[in-house]
Amino acid sequence: METTVTVKGQVTIPKRIREAQGFSPGCKVVFDVNEAGETVIRPAGEVTLRRPDRFDEAAGSADIKLGCSTDEFMEWLRGYSDDPA
């Protein structure tokens, strides 16, 4: 079964697939790539067995104390006040 990717990166999931997977309007889905390099679509929240990648391992591992507000940190990081207006 073939479908076309739109300019916005959207696809229509064929009715046969939606019904087989129980996808209904508004339900959340997850796109993933399996070990064979195939794209897999599954309902969100469903557990998959995959090896954690380097980003999974790093997520939440930093213990950073900024000592300032988020707005102050973003100002320091981006330097908006240094830009000529």
pTM above 0.75, yes or no: no
Q: Are 46 and 30 in contact (CB under 8 A)?
A: yes
What confidence tier does 81 reach under pLDDT thresholds 50, 70, 90?
confident
For residue range 31-60, what is the model confidence (pLDDT) as tens digits?
Answer: 888 888 999 988 888 665 667 777 777 777
CA distance 12 to 18: 10
Confidence of residue 84 (pLDDT cuts 50, 70, 90): low
Find tokens 């330097």 and name the residue.
79
Q: What are phi and psi of 19, to 5 degrees?
A: -70, -40
49 within 8 A of 42, measured Cβ to Cβ? no
Which is more confident, 39 or 83?
39
- Region 22-31: mean pLDDT is 89
